[in-house]
Amino acid sequence: MAISWYPGHMHKANKEMAALINDIDVVIEVLDARMPQASSNPLLQSMRHGKPCLRILNKADLANPHITRDWLDHFNREPLSFAASSAKDKRIETADVLFLCQKLMRKANAGKPAPVVSPTDNPDVAALRAWKQEHKKHQILIVGIPNVGKSSILNQLIGKKIARTGNEPAITKGQQRVRLNDHWYLVDTPGVLWPKLEDQAAAYRLALSGAIRNTAMEFTDVALFSAQMLLEQFPQRLRERYDMETLPPTGEQFMQALARKRGCVRKDGDVDWHKVAELLIHDYRAGRFGPMSLERPPVAQPTPAPNAD
Ligand SMILES: Nc1nc2c(ncn2[C@@H]2O[C@H](COP(=O)(O)OP(=O)(O)OP(=O)(O)O)[C@@H](O)[C@H]2O)c(=O)[nH]1
Ligand SMILES: [Mg+2]
């Protein structure tokens, strides 16, 4: 079954973000460190209107730290973009976020022409304008897919639990603007996806991560996809987690073997597919296979030598 989840509240949230973007200084896009590609919203690039962007690769405790480092390098190579990671046990610091946001704003303003001061300008008015510019309140918009940890990051940056968080998608229902200090405001937003999830393999990874509401996906399909992927890419982790010396060759056979091993069987002896699917998916979400990155960044192209063909 194809995965698609774009309810009305996401359409509304996307429209509200687009309406606010002109008043925003920096966008923080929160990505899932295990799958930065699948969790990156393609609509955001056009919606950003060239605003600088800080990517926070969150849930880094669940990802392979070496691969997360490669992703950070990848995003740091983009124009007007910085990236940092954050994890349950090693949260990103407010001072670091503000430092990166200020740096991004300076970069963004560097290309802009200086305001023209007319010789007839009243010096008081000019001074007031300069003062206002200097003391302007800056706004950071926090965006990202559902359940990726946006509100947790907002709470961390503010230093208290202001935004509701929870381990299911669509906890945040509307925009919330919060004062961080005299100069900065943060705007938390509801998690959004986009109307058509073209890359269905990526959509299945999102479903596995917990970004798609349970009622919008078939648990068994997601588990079969995941079992096949884990068999191909992480067989040793499966062997260790489920204490299986040899692994069946296909995802379906693996799920059947796991069901029998863990008692996910109906009274009539048939496999309880929903129960065993839940077992595998919850084990992944809880990080019980150990830190695991499902995507790698594209290989960086070497910068050509000045006189290269
Ligand atoms: N392992 C781990 N879990 C995290 C991390 N950050 C947040 N979480 C958990 O992820 C779940 C979702 O967090 P939220 O902050 O509510 O996510 P959100 O992006 O605001 O979600 P929506 O508002 O529903 O879009 C919660 O159970 C958090 O405890 C992290 O760095 N590591
Ligand atoms: Mg939230």
Answer yes or no: are the C-beta atoms of 138 and 25 closer than 8 Å.
yes
Is this prediction's pTM over 0.75? yes
304 Cα to the center of ligand 1, angstroms: 41
Please work out whether the CB of residue 59 comes within 6 Å of at least one atom of ligand 1: yes
Residue stretches of the chain with pLDDT short of 70:
111, 113-121, 129-135, 302-309
CB of 189 closer than 6 A to ligand 1?
no
Q: Whose CA is nearest to atom 2 of ligand 1?
A: 59
CATH: 3.30.360.10, 3.40.50.300, 2.60.40.420, 2.40.50.140. Which one for 8-109+134-188? 3.40.50.300
Q: Is 33 close to ligand 1, i.e. is its CB under 6 Å away? A: no
Extents of the domains making up the chain: 8-109+134-188, 218-285
Whether 174 is in the pocket of ligand 1, judged by its Cβ within 6 Å, is: no
Ligand 1 centroid distance, CA of 56 (Å): 13
CATH code given to domain 218-285 = 1.10.1580.10
CB neighbour class for 205 (10 Å; exposed up to 12, middle 13-18, buried from 19): buried
At residue 254, the pLDDT reads: 98
Q: Quick one: which of 223, 248, 234 has its CA closest to 290?
A: 234
210 Cβ closer than 6 Å to some ligand 1 atom: no
Tens digits of per-residue pLDDT, 252-280?
Answer: 999 999 999 999 999 999 999 999 999 99
Query: Starting at the edge strand that comes first in sequence, how are the strands of the sheet with 53-58 ordered?
Result: 81-85, 53-58, 26-32, 138-144, 184-188, 176-179
What is the whole-number distance in angstroms between the Cα of residue 10 and the centre of ligand 2? 13
Mutate to test the pocket of ligand 1, among 157, 161, 165 (most ligand atoms within 8 A of CB): 165
